[in-house]
Amino acid sequence: MDALSQALAKSRQTISAYEDYAERYDQIVRHVPNDREQASLKRFVAIAGTAGQILEVGSGAGYD
C-alpha cells in the first residue's frame, strides 16, 4: 500500500470513529453555553461589530 492509500485509510478510520460516536456525544454534551462562555461570545461579537467579518471560530469539541 502506498503512502497516499495509507493516509486515506487512516482518514477514513478517523471519520468512521467520529461518526460512530456522534449520537452519544450529542447526548452528553451541553447545548447551551454556560455564563462564562456566553460572556466570552458576547465580547467576541462586540469586537467584531456589525460590519465585522469572521473567518472561523475554533471551538474544539464543536458545541459552542
pTM over 0.75: no
Residue 61's pLDDT band (cuts 50, 70, 90): low
CA 21 to CA 35: how far, in whole Å? 27
**Cell, residue 43:** 465580547
The percentage of residues in the chain with a pLDDT greater than 90, rounded to a whole number, is 41
The mean-pLDDT minimum among 2-6, 37-41, 54-58, 59-63 falls in 59-63
Closest CA to 61 of 21, 13, 11, 7: 21
pLDDT (0 to 100) of residue 63: 60
pLDDT at 60 over 70: no
Identity of residue 31 = H
Distance CA(41)–CA(33), nearest Å, equals 9
For CA atoms 33, 36, 39, 43, the dihedral sign is negative
